[in-house]
Amino acid sequence: MYPSKFLLKSIKLWNILVRFYAKETKPILSMLPREDMIIIHGGASNFEDSIKKDKIKGVKEAALLGYQVLQDLGDPMEACEKAIRYLESSEVFNCGHGSVLNENGHVEMDASIMVGSDLTAGGVAAVKDILHPISVARKIMEKSPHIILASEGAHVFAKNLGLELAMPGGLVTKRARKRHKDNTIFDQKELGTVGAVCLSKEGRLAAGTSSGGLNRKKEGRVGHAARPGCGCFADDLICAVSTSGHGESIATMCLANLIAKSIEAGLTPMEALVDHFRKMRKFFQNNGGAIVVTKTGDMGIFFTTKRMPYAFIRGGKIVYGGADKGDEKSEDVS
């Protein structure tokens, strides 16, 4: 038996009121000047040189699209969704149209999104033939009493809401088929979960993550990207986080939430990222990366893989890099 809509709305309103008064008890931090900010990552991986330019171009375009939404609407969730939808439409990122294939040659995708104002979240797991899993995750958050829907159930849910579907097998690309033939599971070249974190000048935070998972994974495998608290986390009182890398390790650690709690306890974003990804390598011998923006606009980008393309916008400039060591560049945002 599901809780009534009235009860769900009452609980949500209570959470909003509690969090509003919690903010009011921190006047020094709440009065600090903020600006619209967005950070995008294109996946922690060791991808080949031939797609470096496309990866950097993609995260730049996604950042610009999301930032424009943030400026126009002031809504960090809309901005995250817009940016990630762009990445899901590209063949060079391991999400949406660029997803790797499972053991049977099918695309199965995970995604999640979280809003920092009231801690609402949604996730979709092991879904097929959906053009934009991040949008399905958002609708699960907004239109259902659940947090995560999976596989066929998620597909039916998306279809009933009129979300964009692909033809059966329509997301399988030539590049993915070649990867499936040539490479094995856990190939670091394909640990490419993408994500976004946003901070509005009003102090609202959101985060989102989308992934095609692991090359040659088992049918029905679910990674970290589907799980709020693992793939992404957002809390207006702390920060927004999006993670990438080896999904089983990240999920076991509940890594996005762990990073946020370390920041809440007093670590800087970079200190928290370095600490927890070193622990991930120590305990699981696996790699990854993440992006963070705090409620006051402090930020962190860190990865233990060879590459993680990123782009962020603040102060009228877009900064991008992550394809090679020391390749960071910046440009004015027109």
Q: What is the pLDDT of residue 12?
A: 53
Cβ atoms within 10 A of the Cβ of 172, count? 17
Q: What is the pLDDT of residue 288?
A: 94
Strand partners, 307: 45
Q: What is the pLDDT of residue 46?
A: 87
pLDDT category, 187, cuts 50, 70, 90?
A: low
Smallest CA-to-CA distance from 217 within 96, 92, 108 is with 108
Percent of the chain with pLDDT over 90: 79
Q: What is the pLDDT of residue 317?
A: 96
Least confident of 23-32, 206-215, 311-320, 325-334: 23-32
- Whether the per-residue pLDDT at 188 is higher than 80: the answer is no
Question: In b/e form, how buried is each residue of 188-223, taking b as 16+ CB within 10 angstroms?
Answer: bbbbbbbbbbbbbeebbbbbbbbbbbbbbbeeebbb
- As a whole number of angstroms, the distance between CA 154 and CA 224 comes to 17
**For 244-269, what is the mean pLDDT?**
97
- Whether the per-residue pLDDT at 54 is higher than 60: the answer is yes
- As a whole number of angstroms, the distance between CA 317 and CA 32 comes to 21
pLDDT category, 71, cuts 50, 70, 90?
A: very high
pLDDT tens digits for range 261-317: 999 999 999 999 999 999 999 999 999 999 999 999 999 999 999 999 999 999 999
Q: What is the pLDDT of residue 48?
A: 83
Q: Which residue has the higher pLDDT, 315 or 2?
A: 315
- As a whole number of angstroms, the distance between CA 229 and CA 28 comes to 28
- Say if pTM beats, i.e. exceeds, 0.85: yes
For the chain, state the CA radius of gyration.
18
- Whether the per-residue pLDDT at 181 is higher than 90: the answer is no
Q: What is the pLDDT of residue 34?
A: 76
**For 44-55, what is the mean pLDDT?**
90
| Class at the top of the CATH hierarchy for domain 35-314 | alpha beta
Least confident of 2-11, 83-92, 128-137, 232-241: 2-11
pLDDT category, 116, cuts 50, 70, 90?
A: very high
**For 183-202, what is the mean pLDDT?**
78
pLDDT category, 189, cuts 50, 70, 90?
A: low
Q: So which residues are the catalytic ones?
A: 193
Query: What are the extents of the domains in the chain?
Result: 35-314
Q: What is the pLDDT of residue 184?
A: 60
Q: What is the pLDDT of residue 13?
A: 54
Q: What is the pLDDT of residue 27?
A: 37
**Sheet harboring 317-321: ordered strands across?**
148-150, 121-127, 109-115, 205-211, 194-199, 37-41, 310-314, 317-321, 329-332
pLDDT category, 87, cuts 50, 70, 90?
A: very high
Least confident of 28-32, 43-47, 147-151: 28-32
Q: What is the pLDDT of residue 119?
A: 97
